[in-house]
Structure 1
Amino acid sequence: MALTASQNDYIRPSLNTDNIFEIKDGKHPLNEHLVSQFQTNDFYSGGQYSHMKIITGPNGSGKSMYLKQLALIVYLAHVGSYVPVKSANIALVHSIHSRIQATESVSVRLSAFMIDVTQVSQALNNATLSSLILMDEFGKGTTEKDGLSILVGTLRNFLKRKEDCPHVIVSHTFPTNHQIYPKIPFT
């Protein structure tokens, strides 16, 4: 890890107990080497920034990669590694919950949708103020109306926690009509 950090100009992140994320020019540690023109990304949450982010866009636009990149940067910082960013002030988190990809399996005996619901249910039941929740296209395994309804209900549940709302980042391809979402500051 030290050699990779040195060869790729990773920096030592600052960790804080103020529950604030400030990541400037973050990169996915693997994908940046596979794509000729990799776009860096910022992430701000907590403090003066909303704890909830909704990322929309067409398929193939990088939403899923952004969520994975964020999870990797936060995880690497927590295990004491340098991280692929220009600067990073990262909140200490107690847990990272993800609903990134569900694959159906005969051995699990659950549909992809049921796996999704189980993962999000665990996040709803176990997440605290110091949690990071990443949901990629949650509700995709059912009808658009049902999926969007469940997503909005989940987001409302987190928002009802007010100051105890965990950091929630959601990506999806559903319609971007802001009137259907709970009152979230869109950033």
Structure 2
Amino acid sequence: LTREVTDAARTKMFARYSLVGALAAAVGALASATPDLLAPAGLDQLTGIKAMFVLYALLGLLGGLLYAQIPRRRPTSDSGSTSALGPSRNIVFRLAALFSLDAFAGGFLVQSLLALWLFEKFDLSLSEAGFFFFWSGVLSAFSFPVAAWLSRHIGLINTMVFTHIPSSIALMLAALAPTLPLA
């Protein structure tokens, strides 16, 4: 994707790319209510979940087939560059350290663990959890264009750091919330 836009437009392009992906994930979360919606038609919840799993697998295969149709491009060669990173080496290493710390901390809470916590603490149904993750996904999706705009004013690293800190604090405080709306 980076070959398709100018350097100046790269952040905005990735924001749009992430927005579309996050909205698709939010719709997928909303689809998790399907087994509950099929119950009035006489389909039990477990059968509905199994059917959704098969559908998800088929969509994954379709996505793989579509991906295989993308034409391959040969990498463009630079004019004799001896190092892949060159003068950016220190910046790349600092970013890699920052991203690994972020991934390590964020990796403690995967969506399935959060769903289990919501089921146990607030006795959510599958439909309610899907609704919860749909709206959290929509809010998350629209943060990408905001982050792209913000990065033009305070820089990419500052945008990441200064938005992750309040987000992480809010996530920690959610564990102490006595009600679902407050969480």
Same fold (TM over 0.5): no
Task: Say which structure is richer in strand.
Answer: 1
TM-score of Structure 1 vs Structure 2, range by shorter chain: under 0.3
- Taking structure 1 as the reference length, the TM-score comes to 0.25
Task: Kindly indicate whether structure 1 or structure 2 has the higher relative contact order, using CA contacts under 8 Å at least 6 residues apart.
Answer: 2
